[in-house]
A and B are shown apart, each in its own frame.
Chain A
Amino acid sequence: MSITSDLIRGHTDTIVLSQLMSGDSYGYEINKVVAERTGGVFELKEATLYTAFRRLESAHLIESYWGDEQTGARRRYYRITPNGREAYKRLLNEWQIAKSILETLIHVKESRT
């Protein structure tokens, strides 16, 4: 599991951007969707998620604004910027190339065994 986590954690930025492509969201909601989609197998650590938010925001790929909750602490929402959309497409493309390379490299061919 730890190796899988490390592998996925390297793509936190892509995961966050892909979530924001379909609409504004906030930390817990993003993590909830990640957990739901993976059937509870994978969950981003909050520290990792917030670090990604800060990194993406300082690169102007996402921007944040505060919700107008009347009671208690406010939610901090994130919105993807046009730059962020482009970065997402690029990252997705990179991932697809990496995936096909990895697949050809790590599969053992039946005929040679």
Chain B
Amino acid sequence: MKEKLTEYLDRLFDETPPTKRAVELKEEMYRNMLEKYDDLLAAGREPQDAFDLVIASVGDPTELFRSLANEDQIQQNAEQKKRSALRTAIAVMLYILSPIPLITLAALAGQPIVGLVLLLTMAAVATGILIYDYMSKPTYNAKDETMVEEFRAWSSGTKRIKQTRDAVSSALWSLTVAIYLLISFSTGAWHITWIAFIFAAGVQTMVNLFFNLKGKDQS
């Protein structure tokens, strides 16, 4: 009869995503139902009779599952927001701090170029964090198949792709300048290091191609 109870609960939770809360609720319900079943048997009920009574006492679980889904949604959103805020704060902090190596190295060590390289690297890292934060945010999902919903999902998708592409490009070029200056000053091979820019242009083309293909996939 325990198997029948597990089976019943599995069916009941069939359409509920297996979040921590849902799994815990299932365990809680299983335990309580089992105890009720045992009590009914001890009171002299037939097994089938006891099982039916246990199932009947569950009632209408619609509201219960709705509150469960809401709680999960609220919790997820709150966590998402927190993480996103932390990333944005770190990125902004990096942007603000980035002139410090330039100023200190130029003033104290007479090395303005190394300072500039550090500045650009910090800016690139900060941009990278912002891109990651943007890309890891949940996309707009069309809930029903109406035209408005579809259009919203489509425009949210294309806008995201465009913004991500712009961010990647700006990070790519600041990194290129940083690498170019770093290599040129450390090796002194100015006659050849400009190749870095041609290389970066190649990468840029690939990035554009990638985002174009991705955009076509989605539409």
Contacts and interface: CB of A to CB of B under 8 A. Distances in A.
A74 B61 contact: no
A50 B35 contact: no
Interface string A1-40: 0000000000000000000000000111001100000000
Interface in A47-79: 47-48, 50-51, 54-55, 58, 69, 72-76
B58 A51 contact: no
Contact of A47 (B28, B31, B61): B61
A5 B120 CA distance: 70
Nearest to A27: B32
Nearest to B62: A47
Interface string B42-77: 000000000000000111111110011001000000
Given A51-B67, A55-B67, A46 B31 contact: no
A5 to B, nearest CB: 10
Given A50-B28, A73-B30, A28 B61 contact: no
B63 A51 contact: yes
A18 to B, nearest CB: 19
Contacts of A107: none
Interface residues of B, number: 24
A45 interface: yes
B32 A45 contact: no
Contacts of B39: 32
A43 B57 CA distance: 8
Main secondary structure of the interface of A (DSSP, over half): helix
Interface residues of A, number: 21
Given A54-B64, A54-B71, A74-B27, A48 B32 contact: no
B34 interface: yes
Contacts of A43: 57
A73 B57 CA distance: 20
Nearest to A9: B59
B65 to A, nearest CB: 9
Contact of B32 (A28, A54, A58): A28
**What 6 pairs across the A-B complex have the smallest Cβ distances?**
A45-B59, A28-B32, A73-B31, A47-B59, A76-B28, A27-B32
16 contacts: A26-B31, A27-B29, A28-B31, A28-B36, A45-B60, A46-B33, A46-B57, A47-B60, A47-B63, A48-B63, A51-B64, A54-B71, A73-B27, A73-B28, A73-B30, A75-B32
Given A28-B36, A54-B67, 11 more contacts: A26-B31, A27-B32, A32-B36, A43-B57, A46-B59, A47-B60, A47-B63, A54-B64, A58-B71, A73-B30, A76-B27
